[in-house]
Structure formats: C-alpha cells, structure tokens
Structure 1
Amino acid sequence: MPKVGIIFNDIKPAACEAAVVWQEKLTALGCEVHVANGLGGLLGYSSPGRPVCHTPIESLVPPHFDESMMFALVLGGDGTVLSAFRQVAPAGIPLLTVNTGHMGFLTEAYLNQLPNVMERVLEGDYRLEERSMIVVKVCQRDRVAWEVLCLNEMVLHREPLTSMCHFEVSVGNHAPVDIAADGIIISTPTGSTAYSLSAGGPVITPGVSVTQLIPICPHSLASRGIVFPDSETVKITSANTDPLVMVVDGNAGSYVMPEDWVVTERSPYTAKFIRLRSPEFFKVLREKLGWGLPHIAKPTSVELP
C-alpha cells in the first residue's frame, strides 16, 4: 500500500477543496494518506524584542512524513511549494506540485490536469529533478541562534529597505569585500528567477552548482553581482549599529542584531520535484516571464496624417 502525503494552502478555497477530494480518492485507491498544511513550513517573523526564535530544520517535518512516503501532493502556489520543501526536504520526499495560485513558476501541473497526472504518478511514470537548497544561519558568539532551509533566496537589509547599509562579505577563503547597498540577496539557481532577477541578477539554469550574490541598489559602480561555486560558504556582517532584517523565501524572517552575523552554505538536502516530462527550463521562462518571445516588426515608414 503506497504512502502518500498532501500539503495544501489552507487559505485558498480551491486548494482546501482539492485536498479533501484527493484524500478521499487516494484512500479509495488503497493509499495510506497523510495531510498537512503549508503553514507548518512558515517560520514567521521575529520582532525587535525577540530577534530570533530557533527552530531546528529537521523539526519541521510533519508527523508521518518520512522516507517511506512515495511522494507528497502540493496544492497551492509558489509560496506553498517553498514552504512544503522546507517541511519535507529533510525526509527526501518528492513533491508533485499543482498550481492553484497565479504565477505557479515552480509548479508542474494545473488542478484540472490532476486526474491524468495522478494516474501517471501512481504508475511510476515520472522522473525526478533535484534542485539545490541552502542553509541560512544567524550566529551569535559561539552558537547558531536561528536557521532555515532555503530554496529561493535570502535577503538581508535594513528597515526601511531604502536605507543604505555597509556589509562585509566573505566568500569561502577569499578576502572579504565591503559592499554599500540597500541590501544583499544570496540566491540559488532556482531563486535566480525570483527577487534576484528583479534586482538585476542573471537567470541561472537549475542544474548549475552555483550560488549568486546580488547587491540591492548598490552605492558603487564597482559593486555588482557575482556567481560562485555553491561549495563556498558565505559570511555576512554589518558595519551599521542598527539591526538588520533577514527574509528567506519570502515567508520566514529574523532580525539580525549588530553583533550577529549571517552564514549561508549548501544544504545536504535537496528539493525533489516530480516531473512528467523532461524539464524544459527555457519553455517555462518563455511561458511565465515572456523570455525570448519574438519582437513585432516595426514598419519601415510611417505615413503622416
């Protein structure tokens, strides 16, 4: 009897309804079904009075979600997918991601396609695509005060965001560099099409084993984005006396006090996506972001009225 999970966004009626329907359908097909909502992967945001709240990475795995689970069905948008991987990546569970939101950049199918999709997946007619994740840590003196798994990006900035900050950044064993900017983005290849792209960073195909650092609105022509091997650890400290705000994947955050520092490194866990066809990254870029669409030819002459 296959063991299957369902993770859904419980603030979206379509996702809630689909979760109930598919729990009943999968149970009728003889599956052992366990259900969790995407809130379990949302760590929330700290406050200045309580800047960190340490939740170990492995403790976010929902009950009964373990290595024996064949796969988990995710019903929601990209935010739910990011949250779900934070929950199941330590258990190595593949995710079948179904879009009930808007953009759905990380999703594999739409809700109306689910009957045919589920039939194929239960028959094992799919392949896995593994994507790298990073671990983000807030360190205080000799301890880790906060940590989180990240599939897209970590953003570090002051409040308000438009206030410039001076960062000291060390990548691996290289000499530290000083960056004056509104903030810093540390992004995976998956996150290169998210905030990093909006901040002027390059698009990186998911299979490349790199990390990128993108300054947000740098105050120098010399401060530009950099791409480096994801085997390199990044350490970031601030020269400012005010606390910083760190946001990870848009749904988890912590205050970083002046005496703290932030460390990012490649995670031993990966995000396993169920794919029904060979991944076509450029096709997704074209369909979701309009990349590479042909330009409309301009007329050679214009008649005046």
Structure 2
Amino acid sequence: MPKVGIIYNDCKPAACRISIELKEKLEAQNSEVRTATGMGGILGHSKPESPVCHTPVDGLVPPGFDRDLDFGVVLGGDGTVLSAFRQVAPIELPLLTVNTGHMGFLTETYISQLYPAVEMVMRGKCQIEERTTIAVRVIRDETTIWEALCLNEMVLHREPLTSMCHFEVAVGRHAPVDIAADGIIISTPTGSTAYALSAGGPVITPDVRVMQLVPICPHSLASRALIFSDTETVQVFPATRERMMMVVDGNAGCYVLPDDRVVLQKSPYNARFIRLRAPEFFRVLREKLGWGLPHIAKPTSVELP
C-alpha cells in the first residue's frame, strides 16, 4: 500500500481545498495518506523579552510522518516549500512541490498538472534531485540557544533600522575578516537565486558544493561576494554593540547579541526534490527569471526592392 504525505499552506484556500481533494483521491486508490500544514516548519521569531526560541531540528517532523512514507506532496509557494523541507529533512522524504503561489521558483509543477504528476511519481517515472542544506546555530555562553535548517540563506542584519555595522567572519581555518555593511548573507547554491542574487551575488548551479558570503550594501569597494567549499565551518561574530536580527529562509529568526556567535555548517540532511523530468537549471532560470532571453528584436532578412 503506497504511503503519501501532504504538506499544504493553510493560509491559501486553494491549497486547503486541493489537499482535501488529493487526500480523498489517493485514499480511494488504497493509499495511506498523512497530512500536515507548513506552519510546523516556520520556527517563528524570538522577541526582545524572550530572545531564546529553540526548537531542535529533529523536533519539527509532523506527527504521523516517518520513513515509511514513499513521498510527499507540497501545496503552496516557495515559502511553504522551504518550510516543508525543514519539517521532513530528518526522515529524508522526497517531495513533489506544487505551485499555488506566484513565483514558484522552487516548485516542480502546477495545480493544473497535479494529478498526472502524482500518477507519474506513483509509477516511478521521476527522478530525485538532492540539494544541500546548512545547519545554523546561535551560540551563547557555549550553549546552543537557537538552531534551524537552511535551504536558501541566513541573513544577519541590524534592527530595527538598517544601518552599517561590522561583522567578523571566519571561514574554516582561515583568518577572520572584517566586513562593514548593512548585513551579510550566507547562502547555499539553491539560495543563490534568492536574496543573495538581489544583493549582487552570482547564480550558482545546484550541483556545485559550495556556500557563498554576500555583503549587503558594503561600505567598501573591496567587499564582494565570496564563494568557498561547503565543507568549511563558518563562524560569524557581530562586532557591534547593538543586538542584531538573524533570519533563516525568510521565515525563521533569532536575536543575536554582541557576545553571541553564529555557526554555519553543511547539514547531514539534504533536501530531496522529486523531478518529473531531468533537472535543467538553465530552463528554470529562463522561465522564472528571464535569464538568457534575447532583449533586442532581431530583424528578419528581407529583400530590398
């Protein structure tokens, strides 16, 4: 008996409706179905009066979801996809991502193609693409006070108002460097097309095993994006007197105090995307971001009179 998990965005009526319909359809075909909302992977933001908001990574797996599931279906936009992968990473569940949002850069198919897509997966006509994730921890007095899995990026910046501050960043065994900027981004190749791209970082194909550091509005012409091996451990020390705000994947965050440090390492858990055809990253760049499309009309050859 096939076992399928469904994770959906319960803030979107279309995702809620489709999740019910899909569950009923699969159960009518003698499949066992477990459902959960994507809210479980949104860790929330710590508050000034309660800066510690620690949920262990392994504690986010939804009730009823385990390694016996064959695959999962995500119904939502990119935010739901990021949340869902954080929820199921410890059980290594491959996910078919279905776009009910706008951009849908991380999604594989659309609602209109949902049932044929699920049928293809049920018949094994698909591939699994693995993407690197980063384990992010905030250390205070040598104790982990916050942790999260990151599929896109970690952003550290000053709050409540954006202004320049200093960061000491140590990559692996290399000497720490000082960066003066509004903030810094450390991203995976998957996240290279998100906030890091908007901040001037390069696009990195998902198969390259690296991380990148991108300063946000740096106060130096010498501060540029840096790409390095994802086997390196990164430590970030906020060299400023004010507390900072750290945001992971745009939907989880923690306050970082002057004496804290942020530690980033490649996670043992990979995000596992179900692909209905061979992954073709440049096609996604063209369709979603317009990369490589001709921007000048080329006249056709005509015969002069």
* TM-score under structure 1 length normalisation: 0.97
Q: How much is the aligned-residue C-alpha RMSD, in angstroms?
A: 1.0
1:139–1:261 CA contact under 8 A, matched in 2: yes
Name the residue aligned to 1:153. 153
- 2:295 aligned partner: 295
Q: Which moved more, 1:150-159 or 1:116-125?
A: 116-125
2:139 partner amino acid:
C
Match in the other structure for 1:303? none
Q: Which residue of 1 aligns with 2:254?
A: 254
- What is the one-letter code of the residue matched to 2:152? N
Which amino acid is 2:267 matched to? S
Equivalent residues of 1:161, 1:183 under 8 A apart:
no
Measure how far apart 1:298 and its partner are. 7.9
Aligned-partner SS, 1:145: strand
Secondary structure, counterpart of 1:283 in structure 2: helix
| CA distance in structure 2 between the partners assigned to 1:296 and 1:59 by the alignment | 52
TM-aligned CA deviation for residue 93 of structure 1: 0.2
Query: For residue 81 of structure 1, what is the amino acid of its counterpart?
Result: V
TM alignment of 1:164-183, pairs within 5 A: 164-183=164-183
Q: How far apart, in 2, do the equivalents of 1:253 and 1:151 lie?
A: 14
Query: By how many angstroms is 1:223 displaced?
Result: 1.0
Q: Distance in 2 between matches of 1:154 and 1:52?
A: 17
Instruction: State yes or no: 1:51 paired with 2:51.
Output: yes
Aligned partners of 1:42 and 1:251 also within 8 Å: yes
Q: In the alignment, which residue of structure 1 is the partner of 2:208? A: 208
Q: For the residues of structure 1 that align with 2:235 and 2:288, how far apart are their CA atoms? A: 33
Deviation at 1:64, TM superposition (A): 1.6
Question: Counterpart of 2:224?
Answer: 224
Q: Deviations over 1:220-250 (max 9, x none)?
A: 1111110000000100001111100000000
Residue 77 of structure 1 contacts residue 100 of structure 1 at CA under 8 Å; is this kept in 2?
A: yes
In structure 2, C-alpha distance between the alignment counterparts of 1:259 and 1:253, rounded to whole Å: 17
Q: Distance in 2 between matches of 1:185 and 1:23?
A: 39
The answer for the alignment partner of 1:284 in structure 2 is: 284
1:302 equivalent in structure 2: none
Q: Over residues 118-145 of structure 1, what are the superposed CA-to-partner deviations in whole Å (9 max), with x where a residue is unaligned? A: 1111111111000000001000112111
Alignment of 1:63-212 (within 5 A): 63-212=63-212
Aligned to 2:11: 11
2:6 corresponds to 1:32: no
Checking the alignment, whether the CA contact within 8 Å between 1:171 and 1:233 is kept in structure 2 is yes
Query: How far apart in 2 are the matches of 1:153 and 1:9?
Result: 21
Contact between 1:136 and 1:264, CA under 8 Å: does it hold in 2?
yes
Q: Identity percentage over the alignment? A: 69
Contact 1:152–1:190 (Cα < 8 Å) also in 2: yes
4+ residue segments displaced more than 6 Å: none
1:278 and 1:286 map into 2 onto residues whose CA distance is 16
Once the two structures are superposed, residues 56-79 of structure 1 have per-residue CA deviations (whole angstroms, 9 ceiling, x without a partner) of 000000112111110011000000
Q: Is the 8 A contact 1:161 1:182 kept in 2?
A: no
Aligned position for 2:302:
none
**3-state DSSP of counterpart to 1:118:** helix
1:27–1:246 CA distance, 2 compared to 1 (3 A): same
TM-fit CA distance, 1:161? 4.8
Structure 2: unaligned runs, 5 residues or longer:
300-305
- How many residues of Structure 1 are paired with residues of Structure 2 in the alignment? 299
Alpha-carbon distance in structure 2 between the residues aligned to 1:287 and 1:298: 21
1:101 alignment partner, SS class: coil
TM-score, normalised to structure 2, is 0.97
Aligned-partner Cα distance in 2 for 1:284–1:81? 16
Per-residue deviation at 1:296? 1.5
